[in-house]
Structure 1
Amino acid sequence: MRGEFAGVKSEIIKDIFEPLMDEMTDEEFSDEELWGDLFRDAIPAPTEPEAPTPPTDFDGEGNIYLPADIEARDVYDAAFTIYQDRLEAYNDAANSADLAWQYIVTFFEDPTTTERQIVKALEDAFDAIEDYGGGNLANAYFQIIENFLEKYSLRYDLRRPAGGGGMTLHPTLPGMFARLIRDLKEVTSQDAALSALMRDFEDSVRDLKADQSPRKIKQSLAAQFNLLEALLTQSPQVVAYNEAAEAHNATASRRQQRRLVNTFGAMCDKADVWPHEDVLKSAKSIYGFGSDYPGIRHGGTPANAKREIDMRDMVSMTIVLAGFTPYFSEALEAERIYLD
């Protein structure tokens, strides 16, 4: 299970809420009343966009003039106009069951609705449905959600607390790992050099289907090591250290020159991201394996190889190395990878 609700937004109304209507056969149930309850209890109000940082430079007439400041203001103004329109629609929906239903549909289909917002809305809807239609309708909703997860292979486990109190959706381990790789691809796509290295790594993994020889496995691991090293060169702490060293070297004597950090171990030491010294050591040790094992990154030390490398190493090392990437790039946000 690795997919996300965000990828099947257009199916949520058709496959969740319309089947729920089919369960409401008792005359005492009214769709209109339920949509009002769901709107109030499960659908969040629009969030006002964050205003840009106030500019510090103005022209002689007191107006902003720097292109970046003008662009930031234009983006904010456009977002604020959209926010005002949505807030008006939200307030109108609070007083009309028909408009509440329309807003619910718009909320789930809106491209800007986040994964986290969808998950919370579906969870909160359970209590509203149970309060409205009792246990039978709530159970039907639970089963509909479970069917939806299975149909689209979504990255969640569905649970109901033993003591009652709602329904919860929990990210799964396969889903979290799949999101990590997806975000890694998105981050690397923003930089031409990183994108090329990511493509080399992906191609090397695909090539293993036809040839799982030690040579091909080493090539795949080497491609991933190269990608991780390149990510680490963009660490803010590494970049700041090297910039300071270059500024110092520009005026310092030859004897006072500072060495730039460009090896994996040295960059790891400068990256202030590690929760414990042993985690830092483990990252450097894994990279040491890539350098010392013959034929991965270098000629290595043949005497230190205990056996020929095989697919066990490819699978294990790929997972281990991918696990370090949130330390290597601040653009990989752990909270989003877990649930967003």
Structure 2
Amino acid sequence: MSGSLHHVWEYLTPELWEPLAHYSSRDVIAPLDLFSDLYVAAGDFLSPRPTDKELEEARNDPAKARCSFFALKGTDFKSESAIVHFLEEVYTVIVDYEIPGFEDHYRRILHNALRKFNLRYRLDEPFILRFLIPGSFANLYAELQHVNAGNAYLVLLLTDFEKAFDRYARTQDPTDMRTCVAKANNYVEGLASTTRGTYGTLGTLCDQLTDWPHNKMCEAVKNLYKFCSDVPGVRHGGNPLNMRRNLDARDMTLACLLLLASTVYLSPGWDEKAILGI
């Protein structure tokens, strides 16, 4: 679940808006002025907002309103959140029509669109689009690619991690697991080094960085580094006496996720809203 609404907006016409306009059941059909109401409802979520004249024309001319609505692009909305709020507002518009089955039809086709485009939302009762955490993880990884842009050193380190992760997923070999954690650590260390302009261990670099919200956050990332250094065969020979058990896939997955998540503190080039998907 990684897609965003503003990226797929142009594909919603055949999947959502046209089926909505073509609704019919027994002796009822979708209102002829549906797109007049939809365009007016969208107005508060657009940037810039349509003029009063444009809104009035939409109210009085359904055909023109339809053209204006279909001409909208995802980037015409104020934000990703604005599209979410608009889709929820559409449900209110449809409920007000009091047409039997119309609101269920909208709920069904929107649910299908969310699944088809692998969007980062879940449709909950009574009618709420929930942002889902997997989308933010996907956005975080996409932002890593953005941060790496133009830096062959970081691209190399992240590619090494990706290949190590793929190899372990295929083999489930303990050696490949330790290599995967080590490569994740190397990338995070390289990113921190690039930010500081000096090269050193992740533990040392954490002490030099200044964007920590709390000392315990800094300590948490340093402890991850210590974990990588202390487990035999990850960064160094380590200390087998500190091991309570052998590493397994849970440990590898968590360590890699935590290491990659810590990168939000290690580089100033992050788009925080992009990570959240808002």
The answer, yes or no, to whether TM exceeds 0.5 is yes
Change (3 A) 1:106 1:187: farther
Distance 2:248 2:261 in 1: 20
Q: How many matched pairs?
A: 272
Q: Are residues 1:115 and 2:80 paired?
A: yes
CA distance in 1, matches of 2:130, 2:97: 25
- Say whether residues 1:95 and 2:60 are aligned partners: no
Aligned to 1:203: 163
Structure 2 residue 21 is the aligned partner of structure 1 residue 21 = yes
1:179 counterpart SS class = helix
Alignment partners' CA distance in 1, 2:189 and 2:91:
46
- Within a 5 Å distance, the mapping from 1:1-340 to structure 2 comes to 1-24=1-24, 29-31=30-32, 33-43=33-43, 44-47=45-48, 92=54, 94-96=56-58, 97-108=62-73, 115-133=80-98, 136-161=101-126, 167-235=127-195, 238=196, 262-340=200-278
Matched residue SS, 1:272:
coil
Q: Is the 8 A contact 1:39 1:94 kept in 2?
A: no
The 1:29–1:143 alpha-carbon spacing in structure 2 relative to 1, beyond 3 Å, is closer
**Farther off after superposition, 321-330 or 91-100:** 91-100
* CA spacing shift, 1:331–1:129, aligned 2, 3 Å: farther
Q: Which runs of 5+ in 1 are unaligned?
A: 49-86, 162-166, 240-259
- What percent identity do the matched residue pairs reach? 29
Q: Distance in 1 between matches of 2:187 and 2:236?
A: 16
* AA partner of residue 34 (structure 1): L
State the Cα distance separating 1:271 from its structure 2 match: 2.2
Contact kept, 8 Å, 2:48 with 2:76, in 1: the verdict is no
Amino acid in structure 2 at the alignment position of 1:177: F
Give 1:111 shift.
6.1
TM-score by length of structure 2 reads 0.84
Question: Using the alignment, how far apart are the partners of 2:275 and 2:100 within structure 1?
Answer: 34
| Counterparts of 2:177 and 2:277, CA distance in 1 | 32
Amino acid at match of 1:137: F
CA contact (8 A) 2:3 2:118 kept: yes
Which deviations, in whole Å up to 9, do the C-alpha atoms of 1:137-175 show, x marking residues without a partner? 2332122211222233321111235xxxxx321111222
Q: 1:104 to 1:233 in 2, by over 3 A?
A: farther
Say whether the 8 Å CA contact 1:13–1:105 is kept in structure 2: yes
Letter in 2 for 1:152: F
Counterpart of 2:85, as a letter, is K
Q: Give the conservation status (yes or no) of the 8 Å contact 2:21–2:30.
A: no
| Offset at residue 45 of structure 1 (A) | 3.6
Structure 1 contact 2–175 (Cα < 8 Å) conserved: yes
Alpha-carbon deviation of 1:47? 3.6
Q: How far has the Cα of 1:98 moved from its partner? A: 2.4
Paired residue type of 1:211: T
Q: Which amino acid aligns with 1:153?
A: N
The 3 A distance-change label for structure 1 pair 321 and 22 is same
Task: Select the structure of larger CA radius of gyration.
Answer: 1
- Could you tell me how far 1:228 is from its partner in structure 2? 0.7
Distance 2:113 2:204 in 1: 48
Shift in CA distance, 306/135, structure 1 to aligned 2, threshold 3 Å: same
Change (3 A) 1:207 1:283: same
1-side partners of 2:56 and 2:177: how far apart?
A: 59
Paired residues of 2:47 and 2:76 also in contact (CA < 8 A): no
Amino acid at match of 2:122: D
TM, length-normalised to structure 1: 0.70
- TM-superposed CA distance for 1:224, in Å, is 0.8
Give, as a single letter, the amino acid of the residue that structure 2 aligns with 1:207: R
Contact 2:22 2:30 in 1 (8 A): no
Letter in 1 for 2:15: D
Whole-angstrom distance in 2 between the partners of 1:91 and 1:234: 53
State the 1:116 CA deviation.
3.4
Gaps of 5+ in 2: none
